[in-house]
């Protein structure tokens, strides 16, 4: 064949299989999103439209990849848990990282106008992805606890910081100085005493981040009002049917759907109610 | 700190640096693009709008990443050459693969409406990316020869196949049978004798693919009519100023721009004229 | 400094850390040992001196590396289990594989004359080593079951094969033909009816391989007669004090010693009695 | 088959092929050789028997592995260059590192008594091995320049240090203090003025290390007196026929032999005379 004398170059492509029977966590982070959020006038400290857009992109990803059994998002990052037994793309690292990062990015741009109808995208945003293996269930619990703790710490800081600036009239430099060295209790106190803000009543999405899991759908085609006791006030009921996505081989079975929660994932309750997430 | 007892999970993220002083080639491929092109009614055998969209996404990528010194595209794939001496993201494999794949995808979706103004995107497309290292210049020459040879082989087959179907009235099954075992000369003969098509006069983009390189811009702000002798009939003059992209640190110097060519890259001429591509 | 302009070459040495909190199994295999055993007239089907020499080299290794909590040997191969929590050499793969393979080899040559006093080593033998990670305890159980099953299958075949040759007067070709397609029961039958050999009464070392574990030493300096109920007839009491090895930092605590057993490790009994092997 | 239900554990063994067409350098280092040399009373600053033993082990390795085209040794370390085009063990990293490290170690122990006839080995020594890839010839030149420069620096320091201690009556602490901050010229001056030692007339092996290369053997079975002009006074003529090693497939062709030199490898002369080392 004409090209055969060059085909040897394929031999330089080396295999990159991931260790079998280990959990995979793929974490995506917005690339230069400080600038991106400025250019697109995101609301401070949290832009609910931007967060819902992230959630939607994550949901699209979970609907195409049934091996993804849990996702957690905050700010411009999202973590996806791929189950231990997954044989997705024969567990090839580059294939998994690149394809899932690509799909998330694509969905983010595709759905931008739905969440920002009056603010056109100025330029194409990008995300980086990294995949980390964890051998055991405890490490997965700790990974997600780490991310949700981070959400809390960042959100408390940012909420107080922007209250000082937006309502307190401080410059950003002054606000940083005011907060330097303060512990959580002191930030809560500043919020409450100076701005009459009770942190614990803020939108759960800001305090807890977004948790995406699959839930079974009851057979009767009733309106979607599924809520679970522990998350009743924190459910996001905009469960997209994702009807715009192509049907794919191996896609999630029709009797489950992806739901967005904003509940605690550090304590046992969340995990005890969903033993399938960590089972093999 | 509140999250510190969980922070050990970061230790599972392992380093993945690439060997220094080797060329990197990143190849992107459309994921399930057979279906995607059907769903979006791409013209057979080549859809010029889809190809120009790919070129534009590749150009956006090169403009953000000056370490990318050459790109080659055909159909739903694109290869990017990153120079040997690049220290991009400290040569971390996942970071490079995921970020560049993400940006390409993002640009593809972002610019879709420009190339398909009357055909809305039905769902978010995705690409996979893989990165291959090559120690020497000869292997890089051979890699791009391999891809361009592939372009020629595929295009000659597809052109003949669709001529048989669209103009010859054959079914796709019949057309496959007609072409089975034929060599290039026979396909050329079918095209010419039955359909009066001289293969060599077809659009160079279809026959040669797209080659993206940087060229120096003359200082005077004259209209862009730069052509080089060897590619005069095959240049794409739609050199985008990419003004919509944010200015980035490390971006290409203002005196060069990315141009799209459709010339031969197997023979020496292309490379002899651009020694900087393979130099370190 | 004089050498500083060349020191950049160190940057090509890439990190190779192994995933934390996973079990490591290092398996060593004799390199070209078919020839080696011929050249040194090893007894067929099993040479007890050669097996004891392998055991001794494995014991030396375990005494220098307290992170190795279990070893299993048969023929010219040995597998070593390194506990999950080990931080040996910062879990650098090449360092662990090369150093442990080197020590085993060194001990094998160093102790050769002890086991083969009248047969000088003709040339230096070598071993290859490979390291495999396992995320869970069940996989470790299955790994060692796999090796001990292999020991049984090989030994039954070889015992019958050499009985046919040495006692039955068959050529090696005839013996292969006789055994072709036979199952275990038929091989046992051949051994018993033709050669009056009851396979189950053969030396346990041949049937079960060698298992090396650490056992606590009672405080009183009594002679070493430690045996456990389940392995009473299968213990190797030649527990070497390894006094010839240098005292090393991190070496096994004085109250344990490495013992060689030839017992079943497929059923639960072995593991239930030694929960520390699989615990983290 | 009896063992088939456990055989899945083989799937955890992941491929580790090295990039094709790159030079490989394997460097071995003695493990805890400071103690080992003390325990075996090595002469300070250089023990010629220990160095010759290292050379012999390296020669054994080169004679079994024709892909190794150059070796350089000093003190308790040795570096081996494997040619770019080698397909040794399908370029599997662990296999190459472990097997070659094992053979070197084995030979070291096997030949100990030849070089230390009156000093029995007290315990088995070990070596660690690491493999580094280099894409180009210049990096290989620089790698070996780096090692030979290191040899010079260390040897000049150690020679002066031990002269101060052994002949000058200083304690080791005093000697360190005397040498602190001195440059090469000053150390040479100390050696010459206080001990009448002209550094440049010391044994070339101490100053230059050992270089092992293959040389063609003339057809006539004459005594081995081959020397090359530039290394005439520095050749080691104890070229072992290695007759004790088994004949192996792929072994070096009969018309070459491995010779030990102690010449400069930083300047061009050595490399110009042996273009085959860096050619593919």
User: Using one digit for the tens of pLDDT, what is the confidence trace for B131-188?
Assistant: 999 999 999 999 999 999 999 999 999 999 999 999 999 999 999 999 999 999 999 9
Using a CB–CB cutoff of 8 Å, tell me whether A136 touches chain D. no
Tell if the CB–CB gap between C19 and B11 is shorter than 8 Å: no
Tell if the CB–CB gap between D11 and A20 is shorter than 8 Å: yes
- Residue D127 above 70 pLDDT? yes
Q: Which of D36, D70, D35, D78 is nearest to D54 (CA)?
A: D78
More confident position, D233 or C200: C200
Backbone angles phi, psi at D179, to 5 degrees: -90, -10
- Residue C37 above 90 pLDDT? yes
Six token digits for residue C118 = 């009248």
- β-strand D256-261 against D210-216: which pairing, if any? antiparallel
Tell if the CB–CB gap between D21 and B133 is shorter than 8 Å: no
At C227 the pLDDT is 38
Residue C261 belongs to what H/E stretch? strand C256-261
Q: Which of A45-54, A207-216, D251-260, D263-272 has the lowest mean pLDDT?
A: D251-260
Query: Coil, strand, or helix at residue B153?
Result: helix
Q: Which chains border B (3 or more CB–CB pairs < 8 Å)?
A: A, C, D
The torsion angle over the Cα atoms of residues B145, B146, B150 and B152, rounded to 10 degrees, is 20
What's the CA angle centered on B271, arms B269 and B272, to 5 degrees?
65
Tell if the CB–CB gap between A109 and B124 is shorter than 8 Å: yes
CA–CA gap between residue B215 and residue B104 (Å, rounded) = 21
CA–CA gap between residue D271 and residue D273 (Å, rounded) = 5
Residue A131 in contact with residue B94, Cβ under 8 Å? yes
CA–CA gap between residue D106 and residue D245 (Å, rounded) = 12
Six token digits for residue A275 = 């033993």
Q: Which long-range contacts (CB under 8 A, 24 or more apart) does A217-226 make?
A: A217/A254, A217/A255, A217/A256, A217/A257, A219/A255, A224/A257, A226/A259
User: Using one digit for the tens of pLDDT, what is the confidence trace for B214-237?
Assistant: 998 876 554 444 433 334 344 444
| Nearest C-alpha in A relative to B182 | A1
Backbone angles phi, psi at C25, to 5 degrees: -120, 120
- Residue B248 above 90 pLDDT? no
CA D233 to chain centre: 19
The torsion angle over the Cα atoms of residues A158, A160, A162 and A167, rounded to 10 degrees, is 170
A15: which chain D residues are within 8 Å (Cβ-Cβ)?
14-15, 17
Using a CB–CB cutoff of 8 Å, tell me whether D22 touches chain C. no
Owner of token pair 């040399």: D37
CA–CA gap between residue D121 and residue B173 (Å, rounded) = 77
Q: How many CA atoms lie within 13 A of A166 on its CB side?
A: 11
Q: How many angstroms separate the Cα of D76 from the Cα of each of C272, D42, D265? A: 45, 12, 19
Using a CB–CB cutoff of 8 Å, tell me whether D12 touches chain A. yes
Using a CB–CB cutoff of 8 Å, tell me whether A139 touches chain C. yes
CB-closest option in A142, A152, A245 to B9: A142
Radius of gyration of chain B (CA): 21
CA–CA gap between residue A215 and residue A62 (Å, rounded) = 12
C23: left (phi over 0), alpha (psi -120 to 50) or beta: beta
A91: which chain C residues are within 8 Å (Cβ-Cβ)?
none
Q: How many angstroms separate the Cα of B259 from the Cα of each of B28, B58, B78, B267, D156? A: 20, 11, 15, 20, 58
Average pLDDT over residues D120-136: 98
Residue A196 CB-density burial (10 A; 0-12 exposed, 13-18 middle, 19+ buried): exposed
Q: How far is C273 from chain D (nearest CA, A)?
A: 22
Residue B202 in contact with residue B80, Cβ under 8 Å? no
Six token digits for residue D90 = 């399908």
At C226 the pLDDT is 41
Q: How far is D200 from chain C (nearest CA, A)?
A: 17
C93: which chain B residues are within 8 Å (Cβ-Cβ)?
none
Residue A18 in contact with residue A24, Cβ under 8 Å? yes
Average pLDDT over residues C128-152: 98
CB-closest option in C11, C15, C21 to B20: C11
- Residues 183-212, chain A, touching B (beta carbon < 8 A): 184
Residue A131 in contact with residue A79, Cβ under 8 Å? no
- The residue of A13, A101, A143 whose CB has the most chain B CBs within 10 angstroms, and thus the best one to mutate to test that interface, is A101
Residue A115 in contact with residue A95, Cβ under 8 Å? no
CB-closest option in D21, D133, D139 to B136: D21
| Nearest C-alpha in A relative to B181 | A1
CA–CA gap between residue B127 and residue A106 (Å, rounded) = 9
CA–CA gap between residue B9 and residue A143 (Å, rounded) = 6
Using a CB–CB cutoff of 8 Å, tell me whether A149 touches chain B. yes
Report residue C254's pLDDT band, with 50, 70 and 90 as the boundaries: low
Using a CB–CB cutoff of 8 Å, tell me whether D20 touches chain A. yes
Q: How far is D144 from chain B (nearest CA, A)?
A: 18
Average pLDDT over residues C16-31: 98
Q: What is the mean pLDDT of chain B?
A: 90
Using a CB–CB cutoff of 8 Å, tell me whether A11 touches chain D. yes
CA–CA gap between residue D253 and residue D255 (Å, rounded) = 6
Using a CB–CB cutoff of 8 Å, tell me whether D7 touches chain A. no
Using a CB–CB cutoff of 8 Å, tell me whether D9 touches chain A. no
- β-strand A23-30 against B256-261: which pairing, if any? unpaired
Q: Which of D94, D20, D63 is nearest to D280 (CA)?
A: D20
Owner of token pair 């399908």: D90
Q: How far is C241 from chain B (nearest CA, A)?
A: 38
Query: Coil, strand, or helix at residue B105?
Result: helix
B22: which chain C residues are within 8 Å (Cβ-Cβ)?
none
Residue D191 in contact with residue D199, Cβ under 8 Å? yes
C22: which chain A residues are within 8 Å (Cβ-Cβ)?
19, 22, 135
- Residue D3 above 80 pLDDT? no
Backbone angles phi, psi at B123, to 5 degrees: -160, 160
Q: Consult the annotation and say whether B150 binds a ligand.
A: no
CA–CA gap between residue D60 and residue C113 (Å, rounded) = 21
Average pLDDT over residues C162-181: 96
**Full-prediction pTM beyond 0.95?**
no
Q: How far is A10 from chain D (nearest CA, A)?
A: 11
Q: Which of C155, C141, C81 is nearest to C264 (CA)?
A: C141
| Nearest C-alpha in D relative to B135 | D135
- Residues 37-96, chain A, touching B (beta carbon < 8 A): 39, 60, 93-95
From the DSSP assignment, how many helices (H) and strands (E) are in chain C? 9, 6
Residue C47 in contact with residue C38, Cβ under 8 Å? no
User: Using one digit for the tens of pLDDT, what is the confidence trace for D237-250?
Assistant: 444 444 445 544 44
CA–CA gap between residue D132 and residue C9 (Å, rounded) = 9
Q: How many CA atoms lie within 13 A of A97 on its CB side?
A: 29
DSSP labels for C82-148?
A: E-TT--GGGGBHHHHHHHHHHHHHHHHHHTHHHH-TTS---S---EEEEEEEESSHHHHHHHHHHHH
D167: left (phi over 0), alpha (psi -120 to 50) or beta: alpha
pLDDT tens digits in sequence order for chain A, 280 residues long: 556 899 999 999 999 999 999 999 999 999 999 999 999 999 999 999 999 999 999 999 999 999 999 999 999 999 999 999 999 999 999 999 999 999 999 999 999 999 999 999 999 999 999 999 999 999 999 999 999 999 999 999 999 999 999 999 999 999 999 999 999 999 999 999 999 999 999 999 999 999 999 998 876 554 444 433 344 344 444 444 444 455 444 444 558 999 999 999 999 999 999 999 999 6
B232: left (phi over 0), alpha (psi -120 to 50) or beta: alpha
Residue B84 in contact with residue B280, Cβ under 8 Å? yes
Using a CB–CB cutoff of 8 Å, tell me whether A14 touches chain D. yes
Which sign, positive or negative, has the C-alpha torsion D35, D38, D44, D48?
Answer: negative
Tell if the CB–CB gap between A133 and B107 is shorter than 8 Å: no
- Residue C245 above 80 pLDDT? no
CA–CA gap between residue A250 and residue A60 (Å, rounded) = 15
| Nearest C-alpha in A relative to C138 | A21
Q: Which long-range contacts (CB under 8 A, 24 or more apart) does D1-9 make?
A: D1/C153, D2/C149, D2/C152, D2/C153, D2/C184, D3/C145, D3/C146, D3/C149, D3/C150, D3/C153, D6/C142, D6/C143, D6/C145, D6/C146, D6/C149, D7/C146, D8/C142, D9/C132, D9/C134, D9/C139, D9/C142, D9/C143, D9/C146
């Amino acid at each position: 064949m004409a090209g055969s004398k060059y085909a040897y170059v394929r031999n330089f492509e080396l295999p990159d299989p991931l260790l079998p029977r280990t959990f995979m966590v793929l974490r995506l982070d917005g690339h230069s999103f400080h600038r991106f959020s400025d250019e697109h006038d995101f609301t401070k400290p949290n832009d609910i439209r931007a967060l819902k857009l992230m959630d939607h992109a994550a949901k699209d990803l979970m609907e195409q990849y049934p091996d993804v059994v849990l996702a957690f998002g905050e700010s411009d990052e999202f973590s996806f848990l791929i189950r231990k037994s997954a044989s997705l793309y024969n567990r090839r690292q580059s294939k998994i990282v690149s394809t899932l990062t690509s799909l998330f990015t694509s969905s983010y741009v595709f759905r931008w106008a739905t969440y920002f109808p009056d603010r056109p995208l100025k330029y194409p945003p990008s995300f980086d992805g990294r995949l980390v293996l964890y051998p055991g269930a405890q490490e997965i619990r700790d990974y997600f606890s780490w991310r949700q703790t981070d959400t809390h710490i960042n959100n408390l800081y940012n909420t107080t910081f922007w209250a000082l600036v937006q309502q307190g009239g401080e410059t950003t430099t002054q606000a940083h100085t005011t907060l330097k060295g303060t512990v959580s209790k002191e930030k809560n106190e500043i919020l409450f005493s100076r701005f009459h803000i009770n942190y614990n009543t803020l939108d759960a999405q800001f305090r807890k981040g977004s948790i995406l899991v699959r839930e079974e759908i009851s057979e009767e085609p009733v309106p979607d009002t599924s809520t679970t006791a522990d998350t009743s006030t924190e459910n996001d009921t905009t469960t997209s049917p994702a009807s715009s996505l192509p049907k794919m081989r191996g896609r999630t079975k029709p009797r489950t759907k992806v739901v967005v929660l904003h509940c605690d994932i550090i304590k046992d309750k969340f995990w005890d109610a969903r033993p399938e997430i960590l089972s093999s």
